[in-house]
Chains A and B, each alone.
Chain A
Amino acid sequence: MRMPSLPPGLAAGAARGAGRLSQKLGRGGGTTLPGLVLSRLRPEATAEMARAVPGGVILVSGTNGKTTTARLVRATLNASGTSVVANTAGSNLERGVATALLNDDGAEIALFEVDEAALPGLIEQTRPRVVALMNLFRDQLDRYGELEHLVERWRRAVAGLDPSTTVIFNADDPAVAEIAAGHPNTVSYGIEDHRVGRDRLPHAADTTECRRCGNPLNYDMVTISHLGRWSCERCGIERAQPNVQAIRVELHGMDGQRLAMATPKGPIEVSLRLPGMHNSYNAIAATATALALDIDPETIGPALARREAAFGRAERTHIDNTRVTTLLAKNPAGANENIRTMLLEDHPLHVLVLLNDRTADGQDVSWIWDVDYELLLESDRLESLTVGGDRAYDMALRFRYAGLDPDRLSVAPSVPAALDAALRTCGAAGDLYALPTYTALLELQSVLAERGLVPAFWEDE
């Protein structure tokens, strides 16, 4: 049974009321509830509100990096004086987008980070002006199903796009490149700097066969997981030279990096405060998107440089004299990059891994066995290791069977207890790195907020 649609004004009013009520009752920031209410009362509301945004809708999607990339694009829009309506704090399903549009008061452009499984639906509803397709990695098999199914859904969604839509895509991801291949209006991006690449695929690599003929792909450079400069010997397809490319990537540990990009509108250099090669990709994707929105190259670099890490993405906090760096780690590709980035530091590392298995994390914790935690254990800089979260003991077994002496490991399932245990081992003036899954990050964030150290997450802009 379906309820008849309420008229727009009435439906919107009821939905906003629900959000305010939620906040008053202390049920969180109301970042998704109004949208959920609205979509029940008036299912066509998202499409109507999206059409009303004068500068159009930009969608940013991919397994990893969409939050940061959307923030970077937003920084360039702000710097060029364009007002933006955006979803925040990971409210990246349809209801989060609807809530953001509902709270919009006349912004010129709409910019949304979108869950990879929600992208096809939101493409249909919002008829975007620009879609940025970043990457597809193995993630939450219980929820998204196999990667192949997602690839197929994206392919159909892109085939249904209006030809005038600009598709920004990562040329280094063979699956994403193939999805974008048939679209008439595309801008590709990628990394060209050989020095930052590896010559071998890591264990967690997903798309390693040619999507056209099934032959194993050749890589003359691997960057992250299955991303890199790929080609197929048998049928001859290969990664095309990207339109926007990083020709020099200088990683400076946790402090950030310098990027030199070549673009159709000239060179852009930027000093990013965001660490790691995953953030190099985010910055290049954001640059390609900003250029597609006709933002000046001179505006882009400084705008990106000012941006600091998003909520839990290499965010830094101090607890007394201990510096705590939080690195969201929710799938093998992301966790591997965090580990590589941490190992660029030359000081002793204290590490806290928090593993939850709730719906937003994925209930199947098998993925931790595909992360190369061995790199951490083999490093002489690892000083202490603490594990916590709902599945702390699974994490403990991961390290036990990687060869760690269990006496060197602290286990505390509750997140506050695990944090305290890690801080104790770390001692004053230490450097603690927290690697939480998504809901563990929310828990960690609320523990820190209770202690007055960080703002609550829905206050994150």
Chain B
Amino acid sequence: MSTGSPAVRLCHLYPDHLNIYADRGNIAVFRRRLEWRGLELDVAEVGLGDPIPADCHLYYLGGGQDRDQLLVAEDLAGKADPLRLAADDGAVVLGVCGGYQLLGHGYAAADGRTMPGIGLLDLETTAGDSRLIGDVVLDVTLDGQTRTVVGYENHAGRTHLGGGCTPLGRLRRGHGNNGSDGCEGAVAGRRMGTYLHGPLMPKNPWLADILLGWALDYAGHPVELAPLDNHLEQSAHAVAATRAGKRR
């Protein structure tokens, strides 16, 4: 498996069920941005009933249709302990859209039923009576740097953060966590959740590199990631930001 170059091992949770918003785009960005720097990405795909590999550096949960998310929620509850161990040890955990909700304490549907979460992020989600849809722009500060992050949101859930995590960013455009408090996403250490897809990583290479830096650090290979030519990424980022402004 190893060719001598430091590898990031990514655990892709439920690729068959949580993939509605092109989650494979996020994985492709992680893979290429490592490759272009002479590093490797190994991906372990973990489905319903599969055990959680203990030696991964980045755990990724995407978004799915309601039916699939419900199916996954039950299975994920059984994987909560090993995931918590890895996260407590310093592994990176990223949840997008439905995956973000599942990282919280749970999701309360309109009919009162609740879908369990695994509580890796201190947040709760309740069903809203409308979907929050559209382009999003937010200001994000991570590792002492502040940048704009762009994406697309489409969710009925209203997410409220507890004291154990902070918002990923402050909204310039879009609805974010709940459409009312001006915040989007959540961060606690190296655990991160967000509603943004589009997918998230291609137009936000800065964010992708920060997550890869964290994963490499946890893998025991703290490296300064060499700069890459990001001009296409920057153009796409700018177009998305303009879109969000116009459609407001």
B73 to chain A, nearest CB (A): 14
Name the residue of chain B whose CB is nearest to the CB of A406. B232
Q: Of B76-84, B86-94, B127-135, B138-146, which stretch is located at the interface?
A: B127-135
Q: Is the CB–CB distance between B236 and A369 below 8 Å? A: no
Q: Which of A394-418 contact B (CB under 8 A)?
A: 394, 396-398, 400-403, 406, 411, 413
Q: Is the CB–CB distance between A394 and B236 below 8 Å? A: yes
Q: Which A residues lie within 8 Å of B199 (CB)? A: 366, 369
Q: Which B residues lie within 8 Å of A370 (CB)? A: 19, 22, 24
Name the residue of chain A whose CB is nearest to the CB of B202. A397
How distant is the Cα of A357 from the Cα of B236 in the complex, in angstroms?
13
* Dominant secondary structure at the B interface: mixed
Q: Size band of the B side of the interface?
A: 20 to 34
How distant is the Cα of A391 from the Cα of B241 in the complex, in angstroms?
12
Q: Which of B65, B152, B232 is in CB contact (< 8 Å) with A364?
A: B152
Given A146-B65, A208-B16, A394-B202, does the pair A141, B21 have CB atoms closer than 8 Å? yes
Q: Is the CB–CB distance between A397 and B32 below 8 Å? A: no
Q: Residue B233 at the A interface, CB < 8 A?
A: yes
A354 to chain B, nearest CB (A): 15
Q: Which of A138, A394, A400, A402 is in CB contact (< 8 Å) with B239?
A: A394
Q: Which of B1-48 contact A (CB under 8 A)?
A: 16, 19-22, 24-25, 28-29, 32
Q: Residue A363 at the B interface, CB < 8 A?
A: yes
Q: Residue A142 at the B interface, CB < 8 A?
A: yes
Q: Residue A145 at the B interface, CB < 8 A?
A: yes
Q: Is the CB–CB distance between B152 and A147 below 8 Å? A: no
Name the residue of chain A whose CB is nearest to the CB of B33. A401
Q: Residue A390 at the B interface, CB < 8 A?
A: yes
Q: Residue A148 at the B interface, CB < 8 A?
A: yes
Q: Residue B225 at the A interface, CB < 8 A?
A: no
Q: Which A residues lie within 8 Å of B243 (CB)? A: 357, 363
**Max chain B CB contacts within 10 Å: which of A138, A148, A368, A370?**
A370
Q: Is the CB–CB distance between B236 and A397 below 8 Å? A: yes
Q: Residue A457 at the B interface, CB < 8 A?
A: no
Name the residue of chain B whose CB is nearest to the CB of A205. B16
Given A141-B20, A393-B232, does the pair A369, B25 have CB atoms closer than 8 Å? yes
How distant is the Cα of A388 from the Cα of B107 in the complex, in angstroms?
40
How distant is the Cα of A398 from the Cα of B25 in the complex, in angstroms?
8
B233 to chain A, nearest CB (A): 6
Q: Residue A198 at the B interface, CB < 8 A?
A: no
Name the residue of chain A whose CB is nearest to the CB of B239. A393
Name the residue of chain B whose CB is nearest to the CB of A401. B28
Q: Is the CB–CB distance between A401 and B29 below 8 Å? A: yes
How distant is the Cα of A162 from the Cα of B29 in the complex, in angstroms?
52
Name the residue of chain B whose CB is nearest to the CB of A214. B71
Q: Residue B248 at the A interface, CB < 8 A?
A: no
Q: Is the CB–CB distance between B152 and A363 below 8 Å? A: yes
Q: Contact flags (1/0) for A137-156 with B, using CB distance below 8 Å?
A: 01001100111100000000
Q: Residue A203 at the B interface, CB < 8 A?
A: yes
Q: Residue B53 at the A interface, CB < 8 A?
A: no
How distant is the Cα of A396 from the Cα of B233 in the complex, in angstroms?
9
Q: Is the CB–CB distance between A393 and B236 below 8 Å? A: yes
Q: Which B residues lie within 8 Å of A394 (CB)? A: 198, 202-203, 236, 239-240
Name the residue of chain A whose CB is nearest to the CB of B67. A148
How distant is the Cα of A413 from the Cα of B235 in the complex, in angstroms?
11
Q: Is the CB–CB distance between B232 and A396 below 8 Å? A: yes
Given A148-B65, A357-B243, A393-B239, does the pair A366, B232 have CB atoms closer than 8 Å? no
Q: Which A residues lie within 8 Å of B66 (CB)? A: 146, 148
**Max chain B CB contacts within 10 Å: which of A141, A148, A393?**
A393
**Max chain A CB contacts within 10 Å: which of B20, B29, B71, B243?**
B20
Q: Which of B67, B154, B232, B240 is in CB contact (< 8 Å) with A141?
A: B154
Q: Which A residues lie within 8 Å of B29 (CB)? A: 401
B43 to chain A, nearest CB (A): 14
Given A147-B65, A364-B198, A400-B232, does the pair A369, B22 have CB atoms closer than 8 Å? yes
Q: Residue B158 at the A interface, CB < 8 A?
A: no
B235 to chain A, nearest CB (A): 4
Q: Is the CB–CB distance between A366 and B235 below 8 Å? A: no
Q: Is the CB–CB distance between B198 and A397 below 8 Å? A: no
B153 to chain A, nearest CB (A): 9
Q: Which B residues lie within 8 Å of A147 (CB)? A: 65
Q: Residue B173 at the A interface, CB < 8 A?
A: no
Q: Residue B175 at the A interface, CB < 8 A?
A: no
**Max chain A CB contacts within 10 Å: which of B28, B71, B135?**
B28
Q: Which A residues lie within 8 Å of B152 (CB)? A: 142, 363-366
Q: Is the CB–CB distance between B21 and A366 below 8 Å? A: yes
Q: Which of A363, A396, A400 is in CB contact (< 8 Å) with B135?
A: A363
Q: Residue B247 at the A interface, CB < 8 A?
A: yes
Q: Which A residues lie within 8 Å of B65 (CB)? A: 146-148
Given A148-B66, A397-B233, A400-B32: 6 more A-B contacts, CB < 8 Å: A142-B133, A147-B65, A393-B235, A393-B236, A394-B202, A394-B240
Which 8 interchain pairs have the tightest Cβ spacing? Answer: A369-B22, A369-B25, A393-B236, A366-B22, A393-B235, A397-B202, A401-B28, A146-B65
Q: Which residues of B pack against A, CB within 8 Å? A: 16, 19-22, 24-25, 28-29, 32, 65-67, 71, 131, 133-135, 152, 154, 197-199, 202-203, 229, 232-233, 235-236, 239-240, 243, 247
Q: Which residues of A pack against B, CB within 8 Å? A: 138, 141-142, 145-148, 203, 208, 214, 357, 363-370, 390-391, 393-394, 396-398, 400-403, 406, 411, 413
